[in-house]
Amino acid sequence: MKVLSAFSHIVTWGLSTTSQTGQECVCTSDQPCWPNAEEFSQFQTLVSQPLIYPVPTASACYPTSDPSGNCTEVIENWTDGNWRSSMPGSMEVPHFETIMFKNGTIDACYLNTTITGACGQGRVPVIGVDARSVADIQAGVNFAVKHNLKLVVKNTGHDYLGRSAARGSFVVWTHNMKNITYSPAFVPQGAPANETYYDAVTLGAGVQWYEAYDAVDQYGRIMVGGMSFGGSVGAAGGWLAGGGHSALSPTYGLGVDNAIEISVVLSTGEYLTVNSYQNSDLFWALRGGGGGTYGIVTSVTYRTYPSIPLQLYEFQANSTNSSAMLQLVGELLRSQPQFTDDGWSGYGSISNQTLSFGYMAPNMTNETATATTQAWTNYALSLEPWGVTSGTVMYSYPSFYDLYEPLFSTGPSGGVNLMFSSRLLSRDTVANKYKEVAQVLIDCGATFNMIAGGKVNQIDPDSAGLNPAWRNAVVETVCGFSWQDGTSTTEIQELIDRFRGRIKTMYDLTPNDGAYFNEASLFEINWQETFFGSHYSALKSIKNKYDPHKLFVVAEGVGSDDWNKELTCRF
């Protein structure tokens, strides 16, 4: 079986702690440097919970691997993001539990047990800490530094770059840090006496968005947060570290714009509370500079806002006329600045025969909502002679939570092998290249998120470590592909080659637009610039300052360019 060269980022083989070229390497479980049973037993006395031994999601379907497991439960919950996130060895995207070796063999634990007949550990960490407190995290970090272990930080496993897993690694699992504290008069540590207080909520590292929304709604508040089915994305982890977009962002800004204070454990074991008044450089980096890179976040304090009514505008069009569909998609791109400036945001999808989206507008009357969407409605209707049929519906909701709860509180959010690439389309791009971009999006069957523009564009690009491209973007587009377990490496390689071609086409069309770090692939071109823009060098300096042990290293993360592709040896 031919090995996928494109999978080189997630291929691992045995390495010593000092390579033949003299590189400094971390220790993995297949090496003599790995701690022995007595050392792990001593470590156990330092943490509050029994050490965890993560297993792949489907392990219960292999009795020899997990005799006490329940395969029926696995089958029934395979696509449930909250179920998957409740297990330390389960990843939202299953192929990040899998590893392909250089000789072509595969180590995996497929749901379909007939593919390999055995359950392999793959890239799932082998042992770790079920962190329930700052002290647990500090103990885990100190142990990893002492033994030079390959460390993984995992919360929910919602990660499209595989940062929540690494073969033979030691994991600090923060999922069970669920504290939520609401404060109507929060003042950041170190703030001057005349500092304005915030109506805020502090979320522990393991809080997920469905839990956060439920909590603040009890106080008649809303907050900027993720919108995924089941609400299983972590609210205080990688979502924020990558930027944190939301359907509320055009009104209130991104997640990084609403974080007031962050608590974090460094590789030195030091516990810091950072904000605009203390360790402000680290606070800057943690807001958009990438997850798993500077330390382990233990909590985040966010602004909240009064609950307000909103309008939902749903649109769908169908056509078998490819020219008309191209014109329709192109016009939608060109109309994005008008939509977002009027207060609209939302999500949609594109194919060669359909275009659909649902846009929401907080604190807008039904009359204003109808008026601000009328031009688009009329345009779509004007294409009827060319075979485009379209329809619209307008709904009124008394609050954001009343929309979120029925639409997003349930639904599949994991269990599919997939890769995708994103692009943050700027105002210049949608004004001048909308036709060319529309064709790419139709060809790849794109989804799009109108979660930029508005307030996001009004904030100083240098106010956070976030990629400055966000401050000129009006829409994020996403293209990708998926495959079934057992697909041959040749077929996957063909899909990847086609995928990389589309990434290059979009990059060539929009070289200055960047991508969203949390919704991207390992194959983005010029990833330092694409993910972090002009902030990369500053972020790397901050990374080196606060992570002197070089403990926190993730794929395509700041500083990872100093490591080999397997992120096991430093140049």
The string of pLDDT tens digits covering residues 202-252 is 999 999 999 999 999 999 999 999 999 999 999 999 999 999 999 999 999
pLDDT of residue 508: 97
Q: Residues with Cβ < 8 Å from 282, sequence gap 6 or more?
A: 264, 272, 274, 294, 295, 542, 546
pLDDT exceeds 80 at position 347: yes
Q: Rg for the chain (alpha carbons), in Å?
A: 23
- Class (C level, CATH) for 28-173: alpha beta
CATH of 180-306, one of 3.30.70.20, 3.30.465.10, 3.60.20.10, 3.90.870.10: 3.30.465.10
Q: Which of 270, 198, 195, 206 is CA-nearest to residue 237?
A: 206
Residue extent(s) of CATH 3.30.465.10 domains in the chain: 180-306
pTM of whole model > 0.75? yes
Pairwise CA distance, residues 463 & 466, whole Å = 8
Of 5-19, 118-132, 443-457, least confident by mean pLDDT is 5-19
Residue span(s) of the chain under CATH 3.30.43.10 come to: 28-173
Q: What are the phi and psi torsion angles at 300 (to 5°)?
A: -135, 135
Over the stretch 69-104, which tens digit does the pLDDT of each residue have?
A: 799 999 999 999 999 999 999 999 999 999 988 777
Q: How confident is the model at residue 7 (pLDDT cuts 50, 70, 90)?
A: very low
Q: CA 292, CA 290: separation in Å to the nearest integer? A: 7
Average pLDDT, the chain: 93
DSSP states of 253-282 as a string? --HHHHEEEEEEE-TTS-EEEESSSSSHHH
pLDDT (tens digit, 9 = 90+) per residue, 517-556? 999 999 999 999 999 999 999 999 999 999 999 999 999 9
**pLDDT exceeds cutoff 80 at 332:** yes
Over residues 363-392, the pLDDT tens digits come to 999 999 999 999 999 999 999 999 999 999
Angle between helices 489-509 and 434-444 (to 10 degrees): 170
| Residue 12 in this model has a pLDDT that exceeds 70 | no
- Name which of 151, 100, 103 is nearest 127 in CA terms: 151
Give CA–CA dist 128/148, Å, rounded: 14
Q: Residue 486: pLDDT band by 50, 70, 90 thresholds?
A: confident
Residue 502 · residue 421 · CB < 8 Å: yes
pLDDT above 90 (res 123): yes
Domain 310-398+415-525 has CATH 3.40.462.20: yes
Percent of the chain with pLDDT over 90: 89
Q: How confident is the model at residue 22 (pLDDT cuts 50, 70, 90)?
A: low
Distances (CA, A) of 249 to 204, 334, 446, 452, 455: 22, 20, 21, 6, 7
Whole-number pLDDT of residue 436: 97
Exposure string over 273-293, b if 16+ CB within 10 A, otherwise e: bbbeeebeebbbbbbbbbbbb
User: Among 7-11, 232-236, 285-289, 489-493, whose mean pLDDT is lowest?
Assistant: 7-11
- Integer Cα distance of 397 and 307 in angstroms: 11
Contact 34, 27 (CB under 8 A): yes
pLDDT of 2: 33
Q: For the segment 142-199, what is each residue's pLDDT rounded down to a tens digit?
A: 999 999 999 999 999 999 999 999 999 999 999 999 999 999 999 999 999 888 899 9
* pLDDT score recorded for residue 23: 66
Region 127-152: mean pLDDT is 98
pLDDT band at 105 (very low <50, low <70, confident <90, very high): confident
Decide which of 68 and 395 is more confident: 395
Delimiting residues of CATH 3.40.462.20 domain(s) in the chain? 310-398+415-525
